[in-house]
């Protein structure tokens, strides 16, 4: 099921850089082709929230793209992919994609993903949401995006933050129809 999978991964400046990093690690373990774009704010968040350098994170991807290079391959619909994940996604990035007024390669690639009717998963990382945020999410959902905030699943009885991150990353892979062993499947009520 993972043959010929080509994904674009965007890491924006929202808190939760570990989700994007773990997603890249999972894709690498599954031998998926990944095209990474990190916003300038995303680079700052990586260094503030994790033990990784930006270079470490970029090394996890098959190919990386400069966030200001709007002429990159992933900016065109002719660059065929199986979808894009923005993980984590800031409110700013989400809003740019929803309006089509994009200022970076990250939001341009997401906009292209939508226009080409490919899967776009927006892992919005903000709380609480005000009505404007909710309307923007509704607008994106109506346009075909999947809105997937990184909300922990406690039925898995996580023992660590890594367990919570893995469960969500596995769930996102499932949304892309990519089999994985990170997410635990609900099997019904236990006895």
Instruction: Sketch out the chain's domains with CATH numbers.
Output: 6-175 (3.40.50.1950)
Say how far apart CA 4 and CA 105 lie, in whole Å: 23
Task: Tell me the pLDDT tens digit for each residue of 144-186.
Answer: 999 999 999 998 999 999 999 999 999 999 999 999 999 988 8
Instruction: Identify any residues that bridge with 86 across adjacent strands, giving them in sequence order.
Output: 10, 122
Return the closest-CA partner of residue 92 out of 9, 18, 12, 11: 12
Could you give phi then psi for residue 53, rounded to 5 degrees?
-90, 165
Report the chain's mean pLDDT, rounded to a whole number. 95
pLDDT at 83: 97
Element (H, E) at 42: helix 40-49
Q: What is the pLDDT of residues 52-66, one digit of tens each?
A: 999 999 999 999 999
Q: What is the pTM of this model?
A: 0.94
Predicted confidence (pLDDT) at residue 3 exceeds the cutoff of 60: no
At 50 the three-state DSSP class reads: coil
């Amino acid at each position: 099921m993972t043959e010929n999978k080509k994904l674009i991964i965007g890491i924006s400046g929202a808190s939760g850089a570990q989700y994007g990093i773990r997603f890249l690690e999972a894709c690498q373990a599954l031998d998926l082709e990944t095209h990474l774009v990190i916003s300038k704010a995303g680079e700052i968040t990586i260094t503030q929230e994790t033990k990784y350098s930006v270079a470490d994170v970029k090394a996890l991807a098959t190919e990386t793209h400069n966030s200001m290079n709007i002429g990159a391959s992933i900016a065109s619909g002719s660059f065929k992919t199986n979808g894009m994940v923005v993980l984590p996604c800031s409110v700013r990035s989400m809003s740019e994609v929803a309006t089509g007024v994009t200022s970076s390669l990250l939001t341009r690639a997401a906009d292209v993903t939508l226009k080409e009717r490919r899967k776009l998963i927006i892992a919005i990382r903000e709380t609480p949401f005000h009505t404007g945020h909710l309307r923007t999410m509704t607008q994106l959902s109506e346009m075909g995006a999947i809105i997937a905030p990184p909300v922990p699943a406690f039925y898995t009885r996580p023992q660590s933050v890594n367990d919570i991150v893995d469960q969500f990353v596995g769930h996102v892979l499932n949304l892309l129809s990519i089999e994985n062993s990170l997410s635990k499947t609900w099997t019904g009520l236990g006895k």
